[in-house]
Structure formats: structure tokens, C-alpha cells
């Protein structure tokens, strides 16, 4: 799980030279803005490629990936440092289990965050899904809703939607760009609905979408960088998007005790108590007392009194 | 009609490279089960001889070495020919069976398959196993060979490619396909494939999330109504090959489907995996898995789920078909889309459908003497596969051993599966034998009860580091249908002294077999 001793990001060496350069540039940009740590949280349904993406960013197989078995059993935090800059990535298990969003998984994630990141901030959320899935349904909305409920709506200011399996031939004779734009549009719509972002707020919540291809068969360009079907090398592209979001001026999510434990049910509506008491007193108790007095007054007294 | 058939067969030019083993298997069934092999009369080789009015038609022509074995088989069969004449009904029944066989051969020929194909030979064996029937309701008096019809039902999750598969089967765009919008109603699609009228029911996709269960229930109840109105011959359950088989997530959906459509649906269903030419993902060592392993793992996952649902241990093997609907996939010169191994998936799928339909027709005919047979498998008899096991501390999924399975027949009529599992470091070896048998007899005697008798025989031997442990268990269930049922279960277990266990086994087994065979004589 978490290593207390933060290791050197040696795996950055195994990227091809062009990619290395770009990555180092981006890290430099972050340092210029006085950002010395970057914490990324990776979440999504099961089987979409979260662990593979983490492995691709770091450059080595830090998280186990299995093609068939159920994936990461508990959250794993990977930390690497390079020339004073620390990168923390937290890989989580899939949120969907057996047809519904698993509360147990959410609990494990929150408690692990409590252990790794108490009083630190989450800078970027990577919401991962597959490019080659064709339907967006209630399940995705529920996943988004669960993330929003756990971390607050503000997390979507700092989110990037990542679409894996990007190297595909689109069906139905659509062009790649068309397919990609349709897919990201439907997924973003689902995120907006699940997080209850109103139409007015849309400008605030412009969530970028990044494409990723984690398999070994990814096409490469002449510099030996892994590229998307459109020709752009995707690793620097993804890290660029992440840094943009990290530097977009909105604050990250602070992982404090309140977040971990979740909202306290006792706190809900506490402010209304005096108001309700006042209403009860003035509109219920007083009239009833008055009616009782009236009744007593109207009562006919018997003759012997 | 019969002459036409003979001519057609003689012109079909069956290869005489039929394996001796296949021929032997057919013969074994013939001899032991006392069935009638319907043998062909080749004008040159044999004299056409009719046994009690039934025509003889053969599977083989011009095979000199097999000719002698066939003639000996024929003599055995003739020797066993019952003394009494075949009743009119029996003749009709045999005629019907033969017509089904003929129909099947014509289909095989149309699809360019030979009878030696494993699936085809299984079907033919089943057809050859039919015994005399006592009383059957004939569904149709005459069957037109040309009016063959096939009804299919296609169900599956949403967005997996059901409508696209239907379009590909027909070879033309019969139904609208959209990458992003699901198709909304149950549609009936009729068309002709190779001269056979095919009707397909396309259904809207099932949703995975629990919140959508009411929608799923609605869809499934309308499918059920459809099934009652015109029962399908084949049910295609469609899923994607390249999504991770989240077995836990699929289980509630499969449960729902089984509860609505009945667990018997799985006997006539085919698992269709779309996106079949997608490249397999990387294995634990970073290199892509081989296609066979990938396909086997994915399909085995779904099969396992279905077996669990139905409560069977190992007996059900649902046939699998791979499908590729992408317009840019590789095609052969006929324009048929090819899979990775070069086969055209469409003819495979059609062939499986016809086989299932033929088998189901056969089953309708003999409800009385029902035997639980091992269902169609699309693998060779001897199955070898690696066994994977993940070691937690290694974080490595390594192959742990090799598993070899084979089917055989105990005492000539009880099907059995024997499997050997050998660990990688050869320190551990498991032998397992599993055999089960179920028979249901109806007695028209004074009791008039249904008697049900089944036995399951399991044997296991484990050898580890030169130490041996052995165990045998026999379950015998005998039941009468007014709920007087009994169960006898015998288990023996022993380590290090195999001889003791074996000695205990013999008298018990003998007593059991006598009991079973004693009841089979039917003298009640």
C-alpha cells in the first residue's frame, strides 16, 4: 500500500526521450507556480482501466492489473518524487459491484484517504471510463452521484474525464472524431446530471476529456512515443491536462475528518429547531389554549352553584 | 422422397478419410446401446436389404477397411432384430427420424460441412441412439424438406451488438443500428439465408443497474409472451468478448433472465460473443494473451455463472459462437467476415443453430426414455488446458499446472469424464472421475408410478510427493413420484493404503449395479 519512504521517480527514464522532455517541462511549470505536490485520485467503474492508466503514467507496473479477475481490492497510493516535486496517485477499486454502487468500497476508499492524506488536499480527480462502451446508463449516473456525495460538488471543478481503450475503429462508419465527440458529450451529460450541475453553472464546470491507450499494442510515432489515432502522443497530453486542471485556480478538496466520516445526520436541520418551536408555540399551543378558555366560558353553570 | 435422398447422398461424395476412432465410436453406440444404425445402401458394394420395412442408409461409402466392420455390425444388428414386427407407429417414427437425419445431412452439405465434424458427429450419434418408441405423438405428418424454418431469439445486454449481429447474419441491413441509442422494441425480422426461412426476434437490451430492473422485467415479460406465441428454436445470448467479465455484476441479470424464460432455455441457447476480433489484453507478463486463452477464459466465466444458476456441476456446456460485425474486419473471397483463426463465423453460427434445432426436434420425440447426456461441446475429446492460480505474495498470476480431461464410457453406457491435473512442479497430481446417469421409467403396471433412478459416481485420487490418498463416493437416488424418495450415499476415503479403499468399493459397487440392472429389467 502506501510507502512511507517516497521513492525516486526513476521510471520516468524509460519513457522515450520526447515524452520525457515534455513531462519534465510540465513538472517545471508546476514548480514555477509553487506547487510541489500533486495528488491525483483515480475513480470509476470496474474494469475500465484505472490501474492500467496509473501504471502508464508512472511508467512501471506499480499496481497489479489482471485481465480477468476483479481488480484492485483496496485503494493503493503510489508516490514518486523527482527533484523536489512529489507525485501521489491513488488508485481505487471499481465502485460498482453486483449491479449497484457499493457503499463498502466507498467506505474503504474514504478510510484509506484518511490514512494516506489526512489534512492534505486532492488536487485532481480522474474519472475513468472506456471509449468503446456505447451506452451511458443509470449506473454511470449513480457512480457520479456517489462521488459527488462523498467529496462534494466542488470536486468536479478539479476533474478530468479519462477515456481508455482509445485506439479503436469506430463503428457505424463514423469518423473517429465524430465518435469521440459523441461519446464524450453523452458521458459529460451524464456527469452533469449525476452531480446535479445546473445549466447556469456549466461554464464553471468545464470538465476536460483526455484519451488514453494503455495496451502494449498502442501505435507509436517516429519518436517512439505512444500515440492516439489522431497522432498526438497521449501521455504528455494527459499530464498536460492534469496540470492545467491543477493550476486552474480552484481549490482542491481538503481531506479532513468531516469528509471521511461523512455528513453527521444530527447536524441536519439543526437551525430549524427554534423556528419550529416558535411556530408550534404561536400557531398551535396558543390557539388551543384560547379555545379551551372559550369552551369553559360558554359552559352553562348548574343551578346549585 | 427416399430415392431422391439416396441419389443425393451418393453424389455427395463423402470422404473416406473418416477416422477409425469416429467409426468405432459410432459402432460402440450401436453395439452396446442396441440401437439401429441406419446404414446406406451403396449400389455397388452391398445389396440393398430392408429390415422389416425400414430402409438402410449408410454413412460411409467405398471404405474397404470399414466395410468389413460395418458388415459385421449389420450382422449383429440383424441378429438382434426383435422377433415381433414393427408396429405401424414405430415405422412412422423411424421414418421421421430418418427424415430428420436426411434434413440434417442436406444442411451440412449446404454449409459445406462434413459429418466428421465434431458437432455433426455428436448430433448424428444422438440421432443414432434412438430406440424403439412405444407411443409418441407425431407433431406433423409430413415434413417438407424445403420448408425448413428456424426461429431465433436474440437477447443480451444493451449496446453489445445484437442488432448488428442480426444484420450480419442476414448479410444485409435489416434493422437499424445506432452506436449511441438503444433499439427500443421487440422486432420480428424475417429473411432467407441459403434458402432457409429464418425468423429472428430482436429484443431491446437489458440494463445492468439495479434501478433499471423494472425496465428489464418489462422487456423480459414481453419476450416471454413472444416465446409462448411462437417458441424459438434457438436463443442467442449476446455479450461482448472484450469487456471484463465482471461475473458478480452479471449474475443478477442472468438470474432474472433465467427466472423469466425458464431454465430450459439454456438447453437450446448459444452464447454469442461480439467484437470477437478484438485483440486480447495484455497478460500479467506484459505480452498480449493468446486468442484461445482469452476466448476460453471469457466464455468459461459466463458458463460458470450459468452452471451455478442452474445448480449443475459440470454437465452443461453451452455452445459458443464468435461474432464480428465491424465493417472493416477482414473478409474472405465470399465476403464473409473472418475471425482470427481464419474461419467464417457466420457459417459456424448457422451450423450451430441448425444442430441445436435438430437435437431439440429429436428430444421432443422421446420423452419417456430420457437420458441425461453430455451436451454439445465444441472441443476435441481430449482437452488440455493450463490452470491459473494467483499467489498473493508474488503479485504474479502464474500458471499452476496442466489439466487434461477426457470423456469415456463406463460399462459402455454410462458417460463419464476423467480428468488429470498435474501441478507445475510435478509434486502433486490429481485424478478425478465423474460419472452420472439419470433414467426415468414409466411403468404401466399396477403401480403406474414414475420411477426415477439416478446415480453419480465420483472418484478422486491425489498423489503428492509419492504419498497417495484416494476417495470414492457414490450417490444413488431412487424416487417415486408420490414423494417416496430415498437416497443412498456411500463415501470411502483412505490415504496411503489404496488397496483397502478399493476392496471396500468392490462389493458396494457390485450390489449397487445389481440393484440398478435388476430394476432395469422392468419386471414389476
- What is the tens place of the pLDDT at every residue in B289-340? 777 777 887 887 788 778 777 776 556 677 888 888 887 777 777 777 777 7
ipTM of the complex in this document: 0.73
Give the residue, B352 or B382, on which the prediction is more confident.
Answer: B352
Interchain contact, B179 vs A170, CB within 8 Å? yes
Name the CA dihedral angle for A105, A109, A110, A116, rounded to a multiple of 10 degrees: 160
Residues of B with Cβ-Cβ distance to A133 under 8 angstroms? 159, 243
List the strands of the sheet with B383-391, edge to edge.
Answer: B383-391, B396-410, B414-423, B428-442, B450-464, B467-480, B484-495
Interchain contact, B179 vs A172, CB within 8 Å? yes
Phi-psi region of B159 (alpha: psi -120 to 50; beta: other; left: phi over 0): left
First to last CA, chain A: 89
Cα(B54)–Cα(B49) distance, rounded to whole angstroms?
A: 9
Q: Is the dihedral of CA A99, A53, A214, A62 positive or negative?
A: negative
**H or E stretch covering B415:** strand B414-423
- Per the listing, cell 407433431 goes with B139
Q: Which of B158, B207, B283 sits opposite A67 (nearest CB)?
A: B283
Interchain contact, B294 vs A67, CB within 8 Å? yes
Q: How many Å lie between the alpha carbon of A196 and the closest alpha carbon of chain B?
A: 18
Residues of B with Cβ-Cβ distance to A132 under 8 angstroms? 242
- Per the listing, cell 434412438 goes with B130
Q: How many Å lie between the alpha carbon of A219 and the closest alpha carbon of chain B?
A: 14
Please say if the pLDDT value at position B168 is more than 60: yes
The answer to which of A81-95, A152-166, A210-224, B424-438 has the lowest mean pLDDT is B424-438
The 10 Å Cβ neighbour count of residue B183 is 17
The 10 Å Cβ neighbour count of residue B497 is 12
Name the CA dihedral angle for B102, B103, B105, B106, rounded to a multiple of 10 degrees: 120
Per residue in A152-195, pLDDT (tens digit) is 888 998 999 999 988 888 777 788 888 899 999 999 999 999 88
Q: How many Å lie between the alpha carbon of A173 and the closest alpha carbon of chain B?
A: 8
Residue of chain A whose Cα is closest to the Cα of B286: A216
C-alpha distance from residue B179 to each of A131, A176, B240 (Å) = 12, 13, 14
The pLDDT value recorded for residue A242 is 92
Cα(A144)–Cα(A195) distance, rounded to whole angstroms?
A: 6
Please say if the pLDDT value at position A29 is more than 60: yes
Q: Which of A68, A97, A215 sits opposite B244 (nearest CB)?
A: A68
The 10 Å Cβ neighbour count of residue B210 is 16
Interchain contact, A64 vs B207, CB within 8 Å? no
Per residue in B174-201, pLDDT (tens digit) is 777 776 677 667 778 888 777 777 888 8
Q: Which of B159, B164, B209 sits opposite A100 (nearest CB)?
A: B209
The answer to which of B48-52, B267-271, B405-409 has the lowest mean pLDDT is B48-52
* pLDDT averaged over every residue in chain B: 61
The DSSP bridge partners found for residue B224 are none
Give the residue, A58 or B480, on which the prediction is more confident.
Answer: A58
Q: How many Å lie between the alpha carbon of B218 and the closest alpha carbon of chain A?
A: 17
CA atoms within 13 A on the CB side of B363: 16
Interchain contact, B284 vs A183, CB within 8 Å? no
**H or E stretch covering B499:** helix B498-520
Interchain contact, B248 vs A97, CB within 8 Å? yes
The DSSP bridge partners found for residue B436 are B456
Q: Which of B159, B246, B327 sits opposite A47 (nearest CB)?
A: B246
Residues of B with Cβ-Cβ distance to A182 under 8 angstroms? 179-180
**H or E stretch covering B12:** helix B2-12
Residue of chain B whose Cα is closest to the Cα of A66: B284
Q: Which of A99, A135, A215 sits opposite B282 (nearest CB)?
A: A215
Please say if the pLDDT value at position B120 is more than 80: no
Please say if the pLDDT value at position A141 is more than 50: yes
Q: Which of B172, B255, B270 is nearest to B220 (CA)?
A: B255
Name the CA dihedral angle for A83, A87, A88, A92, rounded to a multiple of 10 degrees: -140
Please say if the pLDDT value at position B56 is more than 60: no
- What is the pLDDT confidence band of residue B51, given thresholds at 50, 70 and 90? very low
C-alpha distance from residue A174 to each of A232, B169, B279, B325, B489 (Å) = 20, 22, 21, 14, 62
Per residue in B214-255, pLDDT (tens digit) is 888 888 888 888 888 888 888 888 888 877 656 666 777 888
Q: How many Å lie between the alpha carbon of B178 and the closest alpha carbon of chain A?
A: 7
The DSSP bridge partners found for residue B484 are B480
A-B CB pairs within 8 A amount to: 102
A99-108, A121-130, B92-101, B271-280: which has the highest mean pLDDT? A121-130
The DSSP bridge partners found for residue A8 are A81
On the 0-12 / 13-18 / 19+ scale of CB atoms within 10 A, B201 is: buried
The pLDDT value recorded for residue A275 is 92
For B21, phi and psi rounded to 5 degrees?
-65, -40
Amino acid at each position: 500500500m502506501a510507502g512511507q519512504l517516497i521513492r525516486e521517480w526513476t521510471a520516468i527514464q524509460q519513457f522515450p526521450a520526447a515524452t520525457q522532455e515534455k513531462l519534465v517541462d510540465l513538472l517545471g511549470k508546476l514548480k514555477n507556480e509553487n506547487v510541489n505536490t500533486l495528488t491525483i485520485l483515480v475513480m470509476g467503474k470496474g474494469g475500465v482501466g484505472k490501474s492500467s492508466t496509473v501504471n502508464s503514467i508512472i511508467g512501471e507496473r506499480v499496481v497489479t492489473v489482471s485481465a480477468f479477475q476483479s481488480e484492485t481490492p483496496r485503494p493503493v497510493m503510489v508516490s514518486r518524487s523527482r527533484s523536489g516535486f512529489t507525485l501521489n496517485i491513488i488508485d481505487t477499486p471499481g465502485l460498482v459491484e453486483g449491479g449497484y454502487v457499493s457503499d463498502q468500497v466507498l467506505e474503504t476508499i474514504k478510510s484509506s484517504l484518511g490514512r494516506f492524506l489526512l489534512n492534505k488536499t486532492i488536487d485532481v480527480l480522474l474519472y475513468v471510463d472506456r471509449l468503446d462502451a456505447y451506452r451511458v446508463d443509470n449506473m454511470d449516473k449513480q457512480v457520479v452521484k456517489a462521488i459527488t456525495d462523498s467529496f462534494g460538488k466542488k470536486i468536479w471543478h478539479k476533474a478530468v474525464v479519462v477515456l481508455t481503450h482509445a485506439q479503436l475503429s469506430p463503428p457505424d462508419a463514423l469518423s473517429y472524431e465524430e465518435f469521440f465527440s459523441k461519446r464524450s458529450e453523452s458521458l459529460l451529460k451524464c456527469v452533469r446530471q449525476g452531480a446535479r450541475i445546473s445549466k447556469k453553472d456549466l461554464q464553471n464546470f468545464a470538465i476536460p476529456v483526455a484519451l488514453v491507450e494503455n495496451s502494449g499494442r498502442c501505435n507509436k510515432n517516429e519518436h517512439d512515443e505512444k500515440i492516439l489515432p489522431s497522432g498526438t502522443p497521449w501521455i504528455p497530453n494527459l499530464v498536460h491536462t492534469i496540470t492545467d486542471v491543477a493550476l486552474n485556480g480552484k481549490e482542491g478538496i481538503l481531506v479532513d475528518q468531516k469528509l471521511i466520516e461523512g455528513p453527521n445526520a444530527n447536524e441536519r436541520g439543526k437551525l430549524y429547531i427554534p423556528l419550529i418551536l416558535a411556530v408550534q408555540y404561536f400557531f398551535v399551543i396558543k390557539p388551543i389554549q384560547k379555545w379551551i378558555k372559550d369552551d369553559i366560558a360558554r359552559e352553562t353553570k348548574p343551578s346549585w352553584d | 422422397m427416399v430415392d431422391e435422398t439416396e441419389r443425393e447422398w451418393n453424389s455427395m461424395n463423402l470422404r473416406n478419410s473418416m477416422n477409425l476412432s469416429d467409426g468405432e465410436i459410432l459402432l460402440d453406440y450401436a453395439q452396446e446401446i442396441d440401437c439401429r444404425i441406419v446404414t446406406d445402401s451403396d449400389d455397388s458394394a452391398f445389396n440393398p436389404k430392408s429390415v422389416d420395412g425400414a430402409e438402410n442408409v449408410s454413412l460411409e461409402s467405398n471404405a474397404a477397411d470399414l466395410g468389413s466392420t460395418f458388415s459385421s455390425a449389420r450382422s449383429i444388428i440383424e441378429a438382434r432384430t426383435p422377433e415381433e414386427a414393427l408396429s405401424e407407429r414405430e415405422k412412422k417414427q423411424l421414418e421421421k427420424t430418418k427424415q430428420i437425419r436426411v434434413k440434417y445431412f442436406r444442411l451440412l452439405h449446404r454449409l459445406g460441412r462434413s459429418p466428421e465434424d465434431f458437432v455433426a458427429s455428436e448430433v448424428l450419434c444422438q440421432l443414432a441412439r434412438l430406440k424403439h418408441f412405444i407411443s409418441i405423438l407425431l407433431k406433423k405428418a409430413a415434413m417438407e424438406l424445403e420448408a425448413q424454418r428456424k426461429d431465433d431469439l436474440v437477447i443480451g445486454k444493451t449496446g453489445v451488438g445484437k442488432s448488428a449481429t442480426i444484420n450480419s447474419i442476414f448479410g444485409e441491413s435489416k434493422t437499424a443500428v445506432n452506436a449511441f441509442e438503444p433499439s427500443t422494441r421487440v422486432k420480428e425480422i424475417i429473411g432467407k439465408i441459403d434458402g432457409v426461412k429464418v425468423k429472428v426476434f430482436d429484443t431491446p437490451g437489458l440494463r445492468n443497474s439495479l434501478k433499471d430492473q423494472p425496465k428489464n422485467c418489462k422487456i423480459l415479460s414481453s419476450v416471454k409472451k413472444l416465446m409462448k406465441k411462437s417458441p424459438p428454436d434457438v436463443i442467442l445470448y449476446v455479450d461482448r468478448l472484450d469487456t471484463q467479465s465482471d461475473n458478480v455484476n452479471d449474475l443478477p441479470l442472468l438470474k432474472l433472465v433465467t427466472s423469466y424464460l425458464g431454465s430450459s432455455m439454456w438447453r437450446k441457447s448459444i452464447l454469442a460473443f461480439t467484437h470477437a476480433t478484438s485483440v486480447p489484453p495484455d497478460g500479467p507478463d506484459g505480452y498480449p494473451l493468446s486468442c484461445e486463452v482469452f476466448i476460453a477464459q471469457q466464455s468459461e466465466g459466463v458458463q460458470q455463472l450459468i452452471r451455478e444458476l442452474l445448480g449443475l456441476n459440470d454437465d452443461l456446456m453451452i455452445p459458443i459462437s464468435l461474432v464480428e460485425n465491424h465493417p472493416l474486419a477482414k473478409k474472405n473471397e465470399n465476403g464473409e467476415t473472418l475471425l482470427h483463426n481464419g474461419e467464417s463465423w457466420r457459417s459456424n453460427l448457422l451450423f450451430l443453430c441448425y444442430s441445436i434445432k435438430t437435437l431439440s426436434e429429436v428430444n421432443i420425440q422421446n420423452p419417456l426414455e430420457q437420458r441425461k447426456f453430455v451436451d454439445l461441446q465444441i472441443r476435441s475429446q481430449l482437452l488440455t488446458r493450463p490452470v491459473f492460480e494467483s499467489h498473493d505474495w508474488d503479485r504474479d498470476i502464474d500458471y499452476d499446472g496442466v489439466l487434461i480431461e477426457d470423456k469415456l464410457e463406463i460399462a459402455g453406457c454410462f458417460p463419464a469424464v476423467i480428468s488429470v491435473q498435474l501441478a507445475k512442479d510435478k509434486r502433486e497430481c490429481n485424478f478425478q472421475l465423474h460419472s452420472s446417469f439419470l433414467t426415468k421409467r414409466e411403468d404401466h403396471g399396477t403401480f403406474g408410478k414414475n420411477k426415477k433412478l439416478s446415480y453419480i459416481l465420483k472418484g478422486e485420487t491425489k498423489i503428492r510427493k509419492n504419498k497417495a490418498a484416494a476417495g470414492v463416493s457414490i450417490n444413488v437416488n431412487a424416487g417415486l413420484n408420490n414423494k417416496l424418495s430415498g437416497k443412498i450415499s456411500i463415501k470411502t476415503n483412505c490415504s496411503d493404503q489404496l488397496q483397502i479403499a478399493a476392496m471396500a468399493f468392490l462389493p458396494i459397487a457390485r450390489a449397487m449395479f445389481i440393484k440398478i440392472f435388476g430394476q432395469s429389467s422392468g419386471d414389476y
